[in-house]
Amino acid sequence: MRLKQITKLLFIFLSVFALSSCNDSSSDYDTSGLSGDSQISSFKIAALPYTAIDTVNYPSLATTRFSIDQISRLIYNADSLPYQTTLRKCAVTLSYAAGSIGKVELVYPKDSVVDWNTTDSVDFSTYLYPKFRITPLNGKEPREYTIKILIHKEDPDTLIWKENVPTGYPASFDKQKTLLVNGTFYTFTARTDNKIYLSKANKPDNIEAALSYGDNQALSGELDASALESIIFFNNKFYAVDKNKQGYTAGIEGISWSKDGISNNVTSIVGVIPTLDAATDLLLVVTGDQFATTSDLKTLESKIKIDSDFPTTGYSSLTHNDRSNLNNCVLTVTKNISGLGYVKTWSIKTTSDNSLQVTFNQSNPVIPKKDGIVTFLYDGYMYALTGNSFYKTVSYGYKWITAPNKEMLDTRIPKASGQSVIVDEKNYIWVFGGVPDSGTSLIQKVWIGRINKLRTKL
């Protein structure tokens, strides 16, 4: 009897043990300890080029940084890829906050879903990019990320032009010179009566708005039309010299000009000589056969003798400074005298011992030898405009090249010389007036251009 009870107890024990073993099968396991994190922590793309354009554009992929918005679950590149980039089959590299995940799927626009094994290429050739669905190790709450790859829609190197027809623009003049001072355009014009007139217009915040000029007033004082080319704004005053070497100055209003106390022995005002501090910048002038510097056109400090080939008229000068090293006044001249003429660019700067250093390049055959040139700094280059063509240099005139076609003036702009070119703080190029090469109609339109890549970033 006792043996039967022991046998019965043993049977019950073995049955419970067997049942327990079945419930602990290796095919069923507890996932509560596995990670539920499915965040993507980094996203990279690599691709093989298909075309010559790809060969140029694809290297930028290696340095393209993708941002990941974990709240919106959006992956995007803040800096757009180059114009005409086409991403076909690309290799994608993902990394995860948890180190590893359970599964990655590609969710295509028409709701088709495929497993992605991390080595299969991904097609980004259309704007309907697949989404990445990331399932964590615990199999719960997958995350779905939208991919947004930004590509420039317009050629960033194209110079786009807009025509502006000002209201109140001077109706009759022979020549003009326009300066931008404290947000106001000052347009000085010379007429057949040998006088200079001034019209002013505030620069609009929106280039879609037309310039609106005020009254056209004759300048007071004795300066005549010969002083127009020399007018310059420096240290909150206007300065000019006439054909008789007499200097003049005017306040910010630009109307009342005086020669009292101003030198009467200045052949030309070359430009502004920059220094390490804007407060000590100086005007560079020519007096007799000497260069001289001055802060007010009253007291002149003679420097060195000018080269016999140095121009005193028909040139364009600009000031370049970074207030540390490259501080110079750059002057470019083109002339056409009896079919000869020349093209030269001069660089003038002050040295550490306060002397002048003057250098010039050799004649450059790229720029035509004709009267009328204007220079300006833009996009890291020094540009020259003459004959409605742009030329550019990175060596301050040592070597000029013809600007590519996509950086040229609009074909609607009439051929002219003596235009005023101004670059504003938003990288817009303003082209004013000029003397037309043919016809008698004065150029009363203003043209505004900007290279696409220099758009102001909001």
Q: What is the mean pLDDT of the chain?
A: 85
Q: Which residues contact 276 (CB under 8 A, 6 or more apart)?
A: 323, 324, 327
Cβ proximity of 190 and 228 under 8 Å: yes
**228 by DSSP, 3-state: which?**
helix
C-alpha separations of 328 from 228, 277, 304 in Å: 24, 13, 16
Q: Exposure of 296 by Cβ count < 10 A (0-12 exposed, 13-18 middle, 19+ buried)?
A: middle
316 pLDDT more than 80: yes
pLDDT in tens, 333-350: 887 655 567 788 999 988
Q: Helix and strand tally (H, E) in the chain?
A: 2, 35
pLDDT confidence of residue 127 = 66
Name the strands in the sheet holding 257-258, side by side, starting at the edge strand that comes first in the sequence: 232-234, 237-241, 247-250, 257-258
351 pLDDT more than 90: no
Look up residue 72 and give its two tokens: 């919106």
Q: How confident is the model at residue 47 (pLDDT cuts 50, 70, 90)?
A: confident
pLDDT confidence of residue 340 = 64
157 pLDDT more than 90: no
442 pLDDT more than 80: no
pLDDT confidence of residue 32 = 58
9-13, 190-194, 327-331, 444-448, range with the lowest pLDDT: 9-13
Instruction: Bin 324: left if φ > 0, else alpha if -120 < ψ < 50, else beta.
Output: alpha
Q: What angle do CA 409, 412, 414 make, to 5 degrees?
A: 80
Q: Exposure of 265 by Cβ count < 10 A (0-12 exposed, 13-18 middle, 19+ buried)?
A: middle
The one-letter amino acid code at 318 reads L
4-8, 84-88, 367-371, 423-427, range with the lowest pLDDT: 4-8
Q: How confident is the model at residue 186 (pLDDT cuts 50, 70, 90)?
A: very high
State the average pLDDT over residues 164-169.
Answer: 90
Cβ proximity of 303 and 316 under 8 Å: no
State the average pLDDT over residues 261-274.
Answer: 94
pLDDT confidence of residue 299 = 95
pLDDT confidence of residue 458 = 34
pLDDT in tens, 97-149: 999 899 999 998 877 899 998 888 888 877 678 899 999 999 999 999 999 98
pLDDT confidence of residue 38 = 93
Nearest to 331 by CA among 311, 307, 303: 311
Most confident of 2-11, 284-293, 344-353, 437-446: 284-293
pLDDT confidence of residue 446 = 93
C-alpha separations of 421 from 225, 252, 373 in Å: 20, 21, 10
Alpha-carbon gap, residue 61 to 81, rounded angstroms: 8
Look up residue 388 and give its two tokens: 């409605």
37 pLDDT more than 50: yes
Most confident of 58-62, 280-284, 310-314: 280-284
State the average pLDDT over residues 284-303.
Answer: 94
State the average pLDDT over residues 41-68.
Answer: 82
State the average pLDDT over residues 74-79.
Answer: 92
Q: Which residues contact 120 (CB under 8 A, 6 or more apart)?
A: none
3 pLDDT more than 50: no
Alpha-carbon gap, residue 274 to 319, rounded angstroms: 7
Q: How confident is the model at residue 1 (pLDDT cuts 50, 70, 90)?
A: very low
Q: Which residues contact 324 (CB under 8 A, 6 or more apart)?
A: 276
24 pLDDT more than 50: no
Strand ranges for 138-225 from DSSP E? 143-148, 159-164, 175-181, 184-190, 196-202, 217-218
pLDDT in tens, 414-435: 888 888 999 999 999 999 988 7
Nearest to 239 by CA among 185, 177, 184: 177
Higher-confidence residue of 217 and 82: namely: 217
13-22, 35-44, 89-98, 220-229, range with the lowest pLDDT: 13-22
Q: How confident is the model at residue 189 (pLDDT cuts 50, 70, 90)?
A: very high
State the average pLDDT over residues 291-309.
Answer: 92
Nearest to 211 by CA among 158, 160, 162: 162
Which residues sit opposite 190 in a β-bridge?
Answer: 175, 196
